Amino acid sequence: MARSKTSAVDALKRLQAQRSELDARETKLRTDAANELGKVLLECGAETIDAAKLRQLMKQTSTMGIDAALAKLGKN
């Protein structure tokens, strides 16, 4: 019995459905990751840090690299 070829339109529909599922999964995982990071911030008392300063600290740390930032702070 010969199998019919999948049309390009059907393939695109499946791909769009998969993309929607992946987008929903990414949104959930980002929320979960944010919750985990929030717990870490609470555990170390960082909730008292001004949000703008914390954002600046994280951007600079990312630019510098975590190992270099820790070394510079004397923690490594």
Using CA atoms, how far apart are residues 36 and 56, in angstroms rounded to an integer?
20
The model's confidence at residue 5, banded by pLDDT at 50, 70 and 90, is confident
Same domain, 13 and 36: yes
Quick check: 3 pLDDT over 90? Answer: no
Same domain, 16 and 38: yes
Long-range contacts: 38-46, Cβ < 8 Å, 24+?
Answer: none
Same domain, 17 and 40: yes
Report which of 52, 54, 27, 30 is spatially closest to residue 42, judged by C-alpha positions.
54
Q: What is the DSSP letter of 76?
A: -
Quick check: 2 pLDDT over 90? Answer: no
Domain-embedded: residue 15? yes
What is the distance, to the nearest Å, from the Cα of residue 44 to the centroid of all Cα atoms in its chain?
21
What's the domain range around 37? 8-44
How many domains is the chain built from? Answer: 2
The model's confidence at residue 6, banded by pLDDT at 50, 70 and 90, is confident
Domain-embedded: residue 17? yes
pTM for the model stands at: 0.64
Q: What is the pLDDT of residues 26-72, one digit of tens each?
A: 999 999 999 999 999 999 999 899 999 999 999 999 999 999 999 99
Same domain, 29 and 57: no
What's residue 75's pLDDT?
67
Please, are residues 47 and 41 in contact by the beta-carbon 8 Å criterion? yes
Domain-embedded: residue 3? no
Same domain, 39 and 57: no
Neighbours of 27 (CB within 10 A): 10
